[in-house]
Amino acid sequence: MGHPLLRQVAAPAVVGSPELNALVADMDDTMRDLSGAGLAAPQIGVSARVVIFEMKDNPRYPHVAPVPYTVLVNPVLTMLGEEQEEGWEGCLSVPGLRGLVPRYRRLRYRGFTPDGTPIDRTVEGFHARVVQHEVDHLDGILYPQRIRDLSRFGFEDALTGQMTPMPD
Ligand code: NI
Domain residues of the chain, as ranges? 4-159
Query: Which position among 54, 89, 124, 134 bears the catalytic label?
Result: 134
**CA nearest neighbour of 95 among 163, 48, 142, 41:** 142
Q: pLDDT digit string (tens) for 18-55?
A: 999 999 999 999 999 988 899 999 999 999 999 999 99
- Residue 134 CA to ligand 1 center (angstroms) comes to 6
Residue 78: its pLDDT value, please?
A: 98
Give the homologous superfamily in CATH for domain 4-159: Peptide deformylase (3.90.45.10)
pLDDT of residue 166 exceeding 90, the answer is: no
**CA nearest neighbour of 90 among 47, 34, 48, 49:** 34
- Three-state DSSP string of the chain: CCCHHHHCCCCCCCCCCHHHHHHHHHHHHHHHHCCCCEEEHHHHCCCCCEEEEEECCCCCCCCCCCEEEEEEEEEEEEECCCCEEEEEECCCCCCCEEEEEEEECEEEEEEECCCCCEEEEEEEHHHHHHHHHHHHHHCCCCHHHHCCCHHHEEECCCCCCCCCCCCC
- Looking at residues 4-19, what average pLDDT do you find? 97
- Residue 94 CA to ligand 1 center (angstroms) comes to 7
Q: pLDDT category, 167, cuts 50, 70, 90?
A: very low
Q: Is 134 a catalytic residue?
A: yes
Residue 168 makes CB contacts below 8 A (sequence gap 6+) with 64, 65, 124, 125, 126
pLDDT of residue 79 exceeding 80, the answer is: yes
Q: pLDDT category, 92, cuts 50, 70, 90?
A: very high
- Residue 7 CA to ligand 1 center (angstroms) comes to 12
pLDDT of residue 57 exceeding 90, the answer is: no
Q: pLDDT digit string (tens) for 130-155?
A: 999 999 999 999 999 999 999 999 99
pLDDT of residue 168 exceeding 70, the answer is: no
pLDDT of residue 60 exceeding 80, the answer is: no
